[in-house]
Amino acid sequence: MSARGTSDGDIAVIGLGRFGCHLAGALTRLGHEVLAVDRNPEQVQRWAPHLERVVQADATEEHALRQLGLTDFRRVVVAMGVSLEASVLTVVALTEVGVPQIWARATSDKHARILASVGAHHVIFPEAETGERVAHLIVSRMLDFIEFGDDFAIAKVPVPPSLVGRSLRDLGPERYGVLVVGAKLPGERFRYATADTRISKDTVLIVEGTIAQVQQFANLG
């Protein structure tokens, strides 16, 4: 099968394990055309009814990538994680055919270094990132949590009980160490927060600050 007629919105996902299939599905829901590739015929058959384009091919082979038309894709994700050799060889083959953006899943620091050294432009650790995020949710009242570099985070938190009835003017960074950037009042959609936004019992806040500050704010009584 050839992927002719691709556009900048097209993305190829190689490897239909748990991560790969969920990624392909999420990209499809975001409106992208996704070409899903796996060497295992059982995986291809399993996901064919759920994804628009699913093909069986050995992505470690350069000629197979060319036959699929991956030379026309700007972004390709190497989602396989079980076989280090297969993921590395796939990145090498993608590099050989000139894919501009290669995203690759790593399962260890050593794996990540190898992937980067053979041409991966972006190396991701989905299991480690998910584990870190869930850990923060378990030990706090946060509803969602995104950690960035340099000890910075954004979180979605229910309003601490002690702050109900007050306005965001009372929640300045100098007092709690976090900046409230958004608020969802009962029955309303999320919106940018202003100093005059008054907090009711069921308000949900979007706050930013250091990881410690965000977690401390979420746990206020």
Q: pLDDT tens for residues 110-123?
A: 999 999 999 999 99
The share of the chain scoring above pLDDT 90, in percent, equals 46
Query: Quick one: pLDDT at residue 70?
Result: 94
Range(s) within the chain of domains with CATH label 3.30.70.1450: 131-218
Query: Quick one: pLDDT at residue 15?
Result: 95
User: What distance in Å separates the CA atoms of residue 56 and residue 125, rounded to the nearest whole number?
Assistant: 25
Burial class (CB in 10 A: 0-12, 13-18, 19+), 221: exposed
Query: Quick one: pLDDT at residue 221?
Result: 61
Residue 156, pLDDT > 80, answer yes
Mean pLDDT of 214-218: 87
Band (161; pLDDT cuts 50, 70, 90): confident
Query: Quick one: pLDDT at residue 74?
Result: 93
User: What distance in Å separates the CA atoms of residue 18 and residue 86, rounded to the nearest whole number?
Assistant: 17
Q: Which option is the CATH number for 131-218: 3.90.180.10, 3.30.70.1450, 3.50.50.60, 2.10.240.10?
A: 3.30.70.1450
Mean pLDDT of 120-134: 86
Query: Quick one: pLDDT at residue 2?
Result: 42
Number of residues assigned to the chain: 221
Q: Which option is the CATH number for 11-124: 3.40.309.10, 3.40.50.720, 3.20.20.140, 3.30.230.70?
A: 3.40.50.720
The CA-based diameter of the chain, rounded to the nearest angstrom, is 65
Amino acid of residue 157: V
Name the residue with higher pLDDT: 85 or 195: 85
Which residue's structure tokens are 């990145």? Answer: 91
Range(s) within the chain of domains with CATH label 3.40.50.720: 11-124
Query: Quick one: pLDDT at residue 11?
Result: 94
Q: pLDDT tens for residues 9-54?
A: 689 999 999 899 999 999 998 889 999 999 999 999 999 998 889 9
User: What distance in Å separates the CA atoms of residue 146 and residue 155, rounded to the nearest whole number?
Assistant: 6
